[in-house]
Structure 1
Amino acid sequence: MAKLGKRTRAAREAFAGKQNVTVEEAVSLVKGNAKAKFDETVEIAVNLGVDPRHADQMVRGKVALPNGTGKTMRVAVFARGDKADEAKAAGADIVGAEDLMETVQGGKIEFDRCIATPDMMPIVGRLGKVLGPRNLMPNPKIGTVTMDVKEAVEAAKGGEVQFKVEKAGVVHAGVGKASFGEKELVANIRAFVDAVAKAKPTGAKGSYMKKIAVSSTMGPGVTVDVDSATAAE
């Protein structure tokens, strides 16, 4: 059996016997044990009572975290003419049309969010096999296929988080950095959980939110009491 390092042993001891804690206690534990040499991301995973193989049980959406994510978001926009200029002025990192399509087809994907104007979708549609598996495909349901590229770019740059349930029925996202204050992280977590709750699909039966866990990039996770995560501050 592999020998555990000092940091790993200390983290396990700190988390021992602490499950289904309040959001505040979970944040305190995670922050206190984020000991890596970089600013770790605080991550949340929500286990949902849905089967995403059925269309009426698909969960996806977006949320503007009140305190941002702490991450620099690289944004690409498929647009032409005035809309391309609007995207650049709003702070988009990459703007293009056929040229951008060829870049992506060549395997060069240097962005975290992809936005497109509706007239660009015939071009973007050819990239489904490349962008789809990376959850980068523009979608009107989450505001990334839009004529208001300025608002979409600014939202992405301002800390908007997109989420989509995975095959196992889990939704996860980064909700801040370990360097954030505890109150900031608590507010972000509750905002994310609230958005997932509001995205409950019509086909969901029984218990919707089964389990919530919070962790840092290199640290162990702790389960959070669902009622605490959904309670108003």
Structure 2
Amino acid sequence: MAKYGKRTTAVRAAFAGKSNVTVEDAVALVKANATAKFDETVEIAVNLGVDPRHADQMVRGVVALPNGTGKTMRVAVFARGPKAEEAQAAGADIVGAEDLMEIVQGGKIEFDRCIATPDMMPVVGRLGKVLGPRNLMPNPKVGTVTMDVKAAVEAAKGGEVQFKVEKAGVVHAGVGKASFDEAKLVENVRSFIDAVAKAKPAGAKGAYMKSITLTSTMGAGVTVSVDSATGE
């Protein structure tokens, strides 16, 4: 029988027998048991009844969490001239064109969000194999291919979260920090769930949201009642 440390044993005991709880109860449980020496991220995973191999079942979108993520977002912008200056003024961490492409091709990716003006996409397109697997490829559907780079940079810096279903049919994201007030975490969680619900693709059949799990970086997971989370 496996032996666990005191912290793990205490967490397992706290979560024992608790599943399909309300968002409020899940947040309270996760927050109370996020006892690592750093400010843990509260993470959500939504298991969807879709097969992303089919184009009409792809789920992706963006949501501005009302209370931000608590994470410092590093933003890179592919732009030239006035638009490059606009991006820098808006607070972008890295701005460039072909020079930035060469940096990324060299394996140096020091950013969490990538934005590009439409005219830069022939350059950015060469980075598909590098940025694509990291979910960093600019896409007009989530507002990262745009002429309004100021708004895009400010949104990224202000707590906007992008999501995209993985091969296994799961969407996940960080929705705040354990240090956040419970009410603010609940707001963020509900906003994320609402955004995923609204992104339901035309090809989805049967139950769309199959399960929802909330956890912290080092903590155990607790399942959230889909019905209570979606108001169904």
TM over 0.5: yes
In the other structure, the counterpart of 1:83 is 83
CA distance, structure 2, for counterparts of residue 76 and residue 217 of structure 1 = 26
Deviation sequence 1:74-97 (CA, Å, 0-9, x none):
000000000000000000000000
Counterpart residue number, 2:204: 204
Number of the residue aligned with 2:51: 51
Following TM superposition, by how much is the alpha carbon of 1:2 offset from its aligned partner in structure 2, in angstroms? 3.9
Query: Helix, strand or coil: the match of 1:129?
Result: helix
* Secondary structure at 1:73 match in 2: coil
User: The residue matched to 2:44 in structure 1 has which SS?
Assistant: strand
**C-alpha separation between the residues in 1 aligned to 2:167 and 2:72?**
28
The residue matched to 1:211 in structure 2 has which SS? Answer: strand
Map of 1:68 onto structure 2: 68
**1: CA distance, partners of 2:7 / 2:27:** 18
Q: Distance in 1 between matches of 2:44 and 2:187?
A: 13
1:184-211 per-position Cα deviation (integer Å, ceiling 9, x unaligned): 0000000000000000000000100010
Name the residue aligned to 2:35. 35
- 2:135 matched to which residue of 1? 135
Q: Secondary structure of the equivalent of 1:52?
A: coil
How many residues align? The count is 232
Separation in 2 of the partners of 1:109 and 1:58?
26
Secondary structure at 1:36's aligned position in 2? Answer: coil
Q: Give 1:231 deviation, angstroms.
A: 3.3
Q: 1:114 aligned to 2:114?
A: yes
- Offset of 1:134 from its aligned partner? 0.2
Amino acid at match of 2:103: T
* SS state at 1:12 partner: helix
Distance in 1 between residues matched to 2:182 and 2:226, nearest whole Å = 18
Matched residue type, 1:83: K
Residues 137-192 of structure 1: CA distance to partner in whole angstroms, max 9, x if unpaired?
A: 00001000000000000000000000000000000000000000000000000000
Shift of 1:3: 1.8
In structure 2, what is the Cα distance between the partners aligned to 1:227 and 1:70? 28
Alignment root-mean-square deviation, CA? 0.9
User: Which range is displaced more, 104-113 or 222-231?
Assistant: 222-231
Alignment partner of 1:107: what SS? coil
Which position in structure 2 is the counterpart of 1:153?
153
CA deviation string 1:86-120 (max 9, x = no partner):
00000000000000000000000000000000000
Partner Cα distance (1:89, 1:227) in 2: 44
- Over the matched positions of the two proteins, sequence identity in percent amounts to 85
Mapped to 2, the partners of 1:130 and 1:2 lie a distance apart of 40
5+ long unaligned stretches in structure 1:
none
Q: Provide the rounded CA distance (Å) in 2 between the counterparts of 1:50 and 1:5.
A: 38
Deviation at 1:7, TM superposition (A): 0.4
Q: Does 1:184 align with 2:184?
A: yes
Amino acid at match of 1:147: M
Supply the AA of the counterpart residue of 2:54. H
SS at match of 1:166: coil
Q: Which residue of 2 aligns with 1:220?
A: 220
1:45 Cα deviation (Å)? 0.2
Runs (4 or more) in structure 1 with deviation over 6 Å come to: none
Partner of 1:92: 92
TM-score by structure 1 length?
0.98
SS at match of 1:11: helix
